[in-house]
Amino acid sequence: MFKRLIKGLAVILGIGLLSTHLYAQEGHPLKGSWIGEWTGNSDHGDFVLIVMDWNGEEVTGMINPGTDNMEIENVDLDPSNWSVEISAGGHTIEATIENLELPSRSLAGSWSSSNGRGAFEIVRQ
């Protein structure tokens, strides 16, 4: 019941973010709000929402803001192949930016933590 409530709140938050980030984003490719799934995550559920920003030196942000609130601790981006590694709340996400040229680009790969691992895919909103 509680998880369902959390998921519902996250969806509402996601829709709210959607309404404010509909314009194209031609700056840093990770900046923006991303929604998708980290499949099989028993700690946080399959649904994941990530908000990232770029200050010129590092990518900052949060996973599941307003619900699980995991602050992003580190992001490494390799522009030579657009691979990304995100560390937050005991999770490591290894993914690659796909469809870089699109505002609705995606980040696909895998997640892992001490409690499991699985597929990961989010789409920029």
Partner 1 sequence: MKVFNIIQPRHLLILVLTLSGFSITHAHHPIHGKFDPADQIEFSGIVSKVDWRNPHVHVFVNVINGNDQVNWAVEMENPNILIANNWDENSLLPGDAINVSGIRARDGSRQIWGENVRLADTGRAVYTISDTSPQKPLASRPVPRWSEDNLPALGAVPGGVSGLWSYPTSTALVEDGVSVEMDAYGQLQNIGDAAQVAPMQDWALARYINRQERNLRDDPMYLDCKPPGGPRQYQSDLGLQLIEDKKNDRIFVLLGSGNRNFRIIHLDGRNQRGLVGGDDDNPLFYGRSTGQWEGDTLVVNTTGFNEGFWFTNGGLPHTDLLTMVEKFTRSNQDTLQYEVTIDDPGAYTRPWTASWELSWVGNTELPFSLCQHNRQ
**For partner 1, what does the binding mask look like between residues 32 and 71, x meaning CB under 8 A?**
----------------------xxx---------------
Strands 91-98 and 116-124 come out as: unpaired
Cα 110 to the center of its chain, rounded Å: 12
Contact (Cβ atoms closer than 8 angstroms) between residue 97 and residue 80: no
- For residue 30, CA distances in Å to 2, 12, 49, 101 come to 31, 22, 13, 12
Q: Rule CB under 8 A: say whether 19 interacts with partner 1.
A: no
In the complex, minimum distance from the CB of residue 85 to partner 1, in angstroms, rounded to a whole number: 14
Q: Looking at beta carbons only, is 43 or 76 nearer to partner 1?
A: 76
Task: Give contact residues for partner 1 (rule: CB under 8 A).
Answer: 23-29, 31, 54-56, 77, 79-80, 82, 100-102
